Amino acid sequence: MVPNWPQDAIISFNMCEEEFRSIPLPDHVQRTRRWYSLALWKSESVVLFGSTELNTLFPASFEMWVMVIEGDFTHWTKHLTIGPLGCIKGLLDFWKYDELLIETTDGLVASYNLYNRSLRKLPIHEAVLPWATHAELYTKSLVSVKGGRCFT
């Protein structure tokens, strides 16, 4: 995301065609300009999480927007709102197709299920540093170094 451009946008690079592309954020997210983050959902969909709460250190609610690509046209669809949950410090990443890892305000990690909207704290204590937690997820991929088709 490039916040200093006239309009906030995601800059993408297509490795097969070797070209850059600018994808605007949803209008609603651009107007609020509070907090947003990108993630990959179900190994195929780009999602944008955004908070519209302007006067809080830790937002209680997040909106989930899914990028829809139809030919050369890209747009966003609001999928759901997570919360309000009073204990969210930040969203870390998806760790299953339907579950998000969330850092809580008390420095723990929780799992939030998108479908049944349940939150459960995970038994991860010694590995978590309050205010410094992040997730790194591994994705298998293969990109041809000889050009041509891209593989994933």
Segment 75-109, tens digit of pLDDT: 899 998 887 777 777 778 888 778 888 888 777 88
CA dist., res. 43 & res. 9, Å (int): 22
Q: Given a cut of 80, is residue 74 above it in pLDDT? A: yes
DSSP letter, residue 147: S
Beta strands (DSSP E) in the chain are 9-14, 19-24, 35-41, 45-51, 62-70, 73-82, 88-96, 99-104, 109-113, 119-121
The predicted-structure confidence for 43-68, as pLDDT tens digits, reads as follows 788 888 877 665 556 667 888 899 99
The predicted-structure confidence for 99-138, as pLDDT tens digits, reads as follows 888 888 777 888 899 889 888 888 876 555 655 666 666 6
pLDDT given for residue 149 in this prediction: 54
CA dist., res. 78 & res. 75, Å (int): 10
CA-closest candidate to residue 23, choices 51, 38, 1, 44: 1
